[in-house]
Structure formats: structure tokens, C-alpha cells
Amino acid sequence: MELHEFFSYYMEENELARANLINDGVFVTLASLVDFKVAEIKLMDGDASITDMVTMTEIALIRQLIDIEPPEGLHRVIYRVDDYPILIDFQYILEAGEGHGVIHHDIVEALYKALKENHTIPAHPMYIDKDEPLDQDDVAMLDRIYRGPIYWLYDNITWRQLRRMLKRLNAEPDDHQKEDYLRHLTSIITNPKYLEGILLQLNTADFEQIKDNVQKGFNVYEASSRWSDARNLGLLVKIHADHYVMHEAVRSALEEVSFEAVEAHRRKSGSPVGRPPGGDFNAYVLHAQIEDIDFEISREIIMPAGSNCFELHLVIQKAMGWRQKHDALFEAGTLTLDATGEPLGSDGRLPASYIQLDAMFAHHETIRYIYGKDYRVTLDIEAKTHIHRPIPKVQKHHGPAPIENIGGAAHLADTLEVLASADHPDYIRTYEKVRATNYRERYPVTAINNQLEKMFRKSYPITEYNIDEIE
């Protein structure tokens, strides 16, 4: 089956609303949408927006399917939004009935090529699957492995091993999928401050050898029981029966560590010591709850304490699924901050970036965030904590994304009631309207946290003055 025939056969009329949300432009007919999707696949490259949005579960599916030549060019997969939210949202997996979906092999090939171009998928295998000693060609592959995508190097480690590593590091995440463990571990072992604590747990001989290898730029280690502690702490990964490697990102982070300070600590303690739970950055656990509705919509947000209120505004927008379509304000007591993004504020209000969260919460227990005329959000501190990197995160969520442009909180319950039943007489009209805004059948927490990671991994604060460069 050709790609054009695939879209024509499996797309239904209700796909138009989804397409008008995801893509620029408005599609009136299915035929125009089919033509667009075919062209989109043929022109896809590493800069395509989907390459920054797909989940690791979806990437694993693409890697699994790429070497399979299915009948008629169609792969049959489970149609489950929880497993493949982005591929379904982009209409690459289409519903085939009875809980099954289909994806065309041309789409798999285009995605695989694009993900390799932007280095999301490794260009080369991340494990040398042979028992014999390495020959010269194999040795050349080691550089590709320890300089390849760190996520896929650590994917060689099993779920149980990852869990044991994180427990030993006192850093087990709240979520327990392998993807969560991989992201958490790789963020820890590329953090110079946290690496200081890991080095304290090594014996003296291993500590000295790793110090020497880091300074000399060595990434390859002999696979022996000597390095069991370094492996169990996440510093080394087995990639062949005879070899371990240290990823270049880990080695580079170790170059920033003061080995002299660690040595002094080791001498003072007299023995390897662990590190207390948490990381080196202070953070707030914020409870953000929508007001003016009789059911709960809330988000638990981890927010670095040194963040400014404009950064908090950006995180709230992401956490609630909003798209900055309206003006926004913070209110705390008699203080009002402008979060519209104007460098000088508006109506004489102070720009939100001028106030840090530490200062705000030092004087106010509760903050209110007002988004246009639609919604009000109450923000309270649930706890204070420590994190390994100053990156915001949605930790827990309850309820759907509050839908924009429906008249606000007063109309939200009625709109959700219509959307809950495909048999409702207003369902199609309502569905098409909300899908053109921010409505999602499933709250995309992984995609949201990926977007926050990308936005906040800068070494400088985000303000009204530089937001255009970041977006």
C-alpha cells in the first residue's frame, strides 16, 4: 500500500480537527490533509518538531520496526494514547479498530532518519554483541559509542540494575518506568557537584585511576571485577564482554570536579562516604490548583528556589497546557506582577522577572496567578526539597488541561461533559473547537517535562528580555 493510499484509507473525518491543531493552516477536506501528510513525511528531517517531542517509548518502537518489512508496508501496533501519544497526535499511527493501530513503513523510515540526524537515535550500535576480542574495526566503534547519545548507552543497563544504582545514590525518582530511571540517572552522573559524592564512594585505588584517566582523556576500561563499584554507581557501562566505557559527557563533567577537594574530604572522613538524599539546589514543591470549579485540577510542580516569577509563569503555562494567548498576572497581598512578557511591564506593574521566588514566598504563603479572564490559579508551597539540577518539573497532575477560549472556568465542566460522550449532539462541534486550542485527551506529562528540560537547561535566567531567543 502506498503512503497516499494509507492516509486516504485510514483517516476519518474527525482527524481534520486534530490536524488543524498540530499543523499550520486549516484543512477543509480530507484530500488536502492527505496531500499535506504525504509531503510532510517526504520532507521530514532532523529539524522537524516531532523529533523533540516523541517519547522514548515511541523511539523504541521506531527502532524496533525499522528492520521489519511488513505486508503491504503496514505495521500493526496497539492503539493506546498512553503508549504512543505523539505518534497518534501527529496522525502517524492511525486507528484500525478493535484496539489496534497501523503505521506505514515509509513513516517509520522517515522518523528513523530524522531522529538519527538530530542524534536522538544513535547513528551506530551502542553495544558490540560478540564474545571474541575486538579487532581494529571494532575498536574504532568504541569512540562512536562513548560519544554517542548518552541515553542509549545507558539503555544497555536493565531496569532492575538502574533501580539498584539509583537506590545506592539515594536518588530514586517518583516514577518507575525505565525511561524515568534513565533520564534521572543520566542527569545525575553528568552533574559535577553530584559526581563529587559518587567519587567519595570509590576505594582509593579506583579513585586514583579514574582521576588519572579523566585527566588523560581515557574513556575505555577493561571489563573486570575491579570496576564493579564504578559500574554500580553509574560511572561505567559495559559495551562488550571485555570492555566498559565512560561516556564523554560523564568524563567532561568529571573534568569540572575538584579532585583535590574530594581527596581532602576522603582524608577527613577516613573512608568512602555516601551522599545525603537530594541534590545541591534548593527547590519548592508547589501545589497549583485551578480556582472557581467544583472538581480538582491541580499540578505539583518542582520549582528551583532561585527562579524568578517570569520563569514560574512559563512553567505554569506548560503545566496547564496553555499557549500564552492571554495576559497574565501574579498577585500576592498588595503586590501585582506583570507576566505578559513586556520588558517594562504594563500599566505601571513590575515585570515578573524582577522578583525571585525566594523573596516572594518569604513574605507571602500563597500566590495567585491570573490568566486573562479565563482562569485563576492558587499557588502554595507543599514542601521544600533539594534537586540535582535547576530544572523545573511537573511531578504530579490531577485532572485535564483547563481548556482555553471556552469562556473560562465557568464553562469548563459543561465542555468536559460534552467531550466525555461521543454520542452527545454537540460532541463534534465542541471537539473541533477545543482541538483547535489546547485540548488533549491525555495529559502529556512526559512531553511537558521534556519541553521544560529543553527550555531551562540554559546557564542564565529566563526573563522578558531574552525569552524571544529561547522560544
pLDDT in tens, 418-468: 998 989 999 998 988 888 787 888 888 888 998 998 899 877 899 988 888
Q: Are residues 20 and 101 in the same domain?
A: yes
SS3 296: coil
DSSP helix, strand, coil percent of the chain (3-state; round to 5): 45, 15, 40
Domain assignment of residue 25, given as a range: 3-117
Can you give the pLDDT at residue 274? 41
Q: Is residue 320 located within the same domain as residue 393?
A: yes
Q: How confident is the prediction for the chain on average, in pLDDT? A: 88
Q: What is the pLDDT of residue 471?
A: 60
Are residues 299 and 205 part of one domain? no
Cα(142)–Cα(307) distance, rounded to whole angstroms? 40
Which strand (E) or helix (H) includes residue 415? Answer: helix 412-419
Domain boundary among 117, 148, 183: 117
> Same domain for 458 and 365?
yes
Q: Where are the alpha helices (DSSP H) in 284-329?
A: 309-320
State how far the Cα of 49 lies from the Cα of 317, in Å rounded to an integer: 19
Domain final position from 58, 86, 117: 117
* Structural domains in the chain (count): 3
Is residue 178, in this structure, part of any structural domain at all? yes
Contact 319, 448 (CB under 8 A): yes
Same domain membership, residue 286 and residue 169: no
State whether 202 and 291 are in the same domain: no
CATH classification at residue 336: 3.10.290.30
230 phi and psi angles, rounded to 5 deg: -65, -35
Do both 258 and 333 map to the same domain?
A: no
In a domain, 131, yes or no: no
Residue with cell 512578557: 341
Query: Are 27 and 172 in the same domain?
Result: no
Nearest to 223 by CA among 254, 193, 195, 245: 245
Last residue of a domain, one of 209, 240, 269: 269
Residues of the chain short of pLDDT 70, as ranges, are: 21-25, 131, 174, 269-280, 345-346, 471
Q: Are residues 255 and 304 in the same domain?
A: no
**Residue 75 within a domain:** yes
Cβ–Cβ under 8 Å, residues 100 and 79: yes
Q: Are residues 415 and 448 in the same domain?
A: yes
Q: Are residues 414 and 445 in the same domain?
A: yes
CA distance 432 to 418: 12
Q: Model confidence over 191-204: pLDDT tens digits?
A: 998 999 999 989 88
Which among 333, 391, 387 is positioned nearest to 361, based on CA atoms? 333
Q: Are residues 99 and 10 part of one domain? A: yes
